[in-house]
Structure 1
Amino acid sequence: MTDERLKQLATLSDLIRDRALEDLRRAAAERDMTKAHLAGLAVLPATGLSPLAAARAAQAYQQWADERRRQLNMQLARQTVTVMQRQADARQAFGRAEVLHRLAASGRR
């Protein structure tokens, strides 16, 4: 393989690596946002209400929050799998780019 061809392949592999890293960053950001939404479901008890009204409000909120947590946990599981896949893709792209750069560098010697 010619030095010029190796250089072109190294450039392409850099682009693929950068794209894989960006995909990983985006997937991790989406997962982190879901984690933040889950954390935001914790709420302080209502103040300024009668004990009965506060209990009813807390119960209604907890029912809603439990369902929302269930949905968010399912979403978080899917996003975690996606992040793991993107990590594997990024590792592979990084490795390929590194090998091509080493081959191109050894061809110059």
Structure 2
Amino acid sequence: MTKARDLARLADLAQLMLDHRLGTLRQAADAVEQSRMQLQAINAASAPADLPPVAAERVGLAYQRWADVRRSELNLVISRQTAEWIEARGEAGTAFGRLQALQGLAARSPNRR
């Protein structure tokens, strides 16, 4: 095989790796966004309607108790997902850099054996 052909095959593999890393990054970003939307929905919950004041207050307090626990859980999930997203972004950046380096080498490489 020629050096140019080897570089082209490596660049193809690097492109596949970049595509995979970008897919992983997209999934991580979607997971973080979904968790943030869940947290936003909990924070935006409305007060119970058409209940006597005492019952409404009890329902509200029970919901707040549940919501506080759920917020805490979601904040931990968001923290973990954000760390995974940062890692995926770094891996995608590395894959992009490798692809660019291989493409640059292939462009400068003469077509000889």
Normalised by the size of structure 2, how large is the TM-score? 0.93
- The Cα of 1:6 is off from its aligned counterpart by 0.3
- The Cα of 1:106 is off from its aligned counterpart by 1.1
The answer for unaligned runs of 5 or more in structure 1 is none
- The Cα of 1:108 is off from its aligned counterpart by 4.4
- The Cα of 1:16 is off from its aligned counterpart by 0.4
Normalised by the size of structure 1, how large is the TM-score? 0.96
Q: Distance in 1 between matches of 2:34 and 2:78?
A: 9
- The Cα of 1:105 is off from its aligned counterpart by 1.0
Give the aligned CA root-mean-square deviation in angstroms. 1.2
Q: Distance in 1 between matches of 2:23 and 2:110?
A: 31
Q: Kindly provide the amino acid, as one letter, of the partner of residue 99 in structure 2.
A: A
Q: Distance in 1 between matches of 2:35 and 2:65?
A: 19
Q: What is the total number of aligned residue pairs between the two structures?
A: 109
Equivalences for 1:51-70 in 2 at 5 Å? 51-70=53-72
The equivalent residue for 1:92 is: 94
Matched, 1:46 2:52: no
Following TM superposition, the consecutive aligned residue runs of length 4 or more in structure 1 with deviations greater than 4 angstroms are: none
The equivalent residue for 2:9 is: 8
The answer for unaligned runs of 5 or more in structure 2 is none
- The Cα of 1:18 is off from its aligned counterpart by 0.6
Q: Kindly provide the amino acid, as one letter, of the partner of residue 2 in structure 1.
A: K
The equivalent residue for 2:20 is: 19
